[in-house]
Amino acid sequence: GESVGLHLPTLSVQEGDNSIINCAYSNSASDYFIWYKQESGKGPQFIIDIRSNMDKRQGQRVTVLLNKTVKHLSLQIAATQPGDSAVYFCAEKVEGTYKYIFGTGTRLKVLA
């Protein structure tokens, strides 16, 4: 598969546990944030998004938290499953533009 994940931080969790992946974003003018999942050999897949007027949003088994004060974004995955193993990265969109800034990602390994 593709080698983009060679130098990434890794989070290892037991199957069934909750996972928390963190992201520090860079631009205080960013107003829209997205979490992506990237499996080996595939393109980034949308997981969940959040706008800057919110601080929490929930999806199916996933929750995104936004702390604008410290420019921090987190992704929580409940009851982590083997199929959740992938690289996860955040993206921020600068307000008034269509410019996206992407994080480098975190590799999630789910241990059976």
Partner 1 sequence: EAQVTQNPRYLITVTGKKLTVTCSQNMNHEYMSWYRQDPGLGLRQIYYSMNVEVTDKGDVPEGYKVSRKEKRNFPLILESPSPNQTSLYFCASSLVDGGVSSPLHFGNGTRLTVT
- Residues near partner 1 (CB under 8 A) are 2-7, 31-32, 34, 36, 41-46, 49, 51, 89, 91, 93, 98-105
Nearest residue to 46 via CA among 79, 88, 78: 88
- Whole-number minimum distance, CB 39 to partner 1, in Å? 10
- Whole-number minimum distance, CB 34 to partner 1, in Å? 5
Task: Decide if 49 contacts 73 (C-beta within 8 A).
Answer: no
Task: Decide if 17 contacts 112 (C-beta within 8 A).
Answer: no
Phi first, then psi, for residue 77 (nearest 5°) are -115, 120
Closest CB to partner 1 among residues 14, 100: 100
- Whole-number minimum distance, CB 54 to partner 1, in Å? 12
Q: Pairing mode, if any, of strands 10-14 and 106-111?
A: parallel
Amino acid, single-letter form, for residue 88: Y
Closest CB to partner 1 among residues 56, 99: 99
- Whole-number minimum distance, CB 45 to partner 1, in Å? 7
Closest CB to partner 1 among residues 4, 79: 4
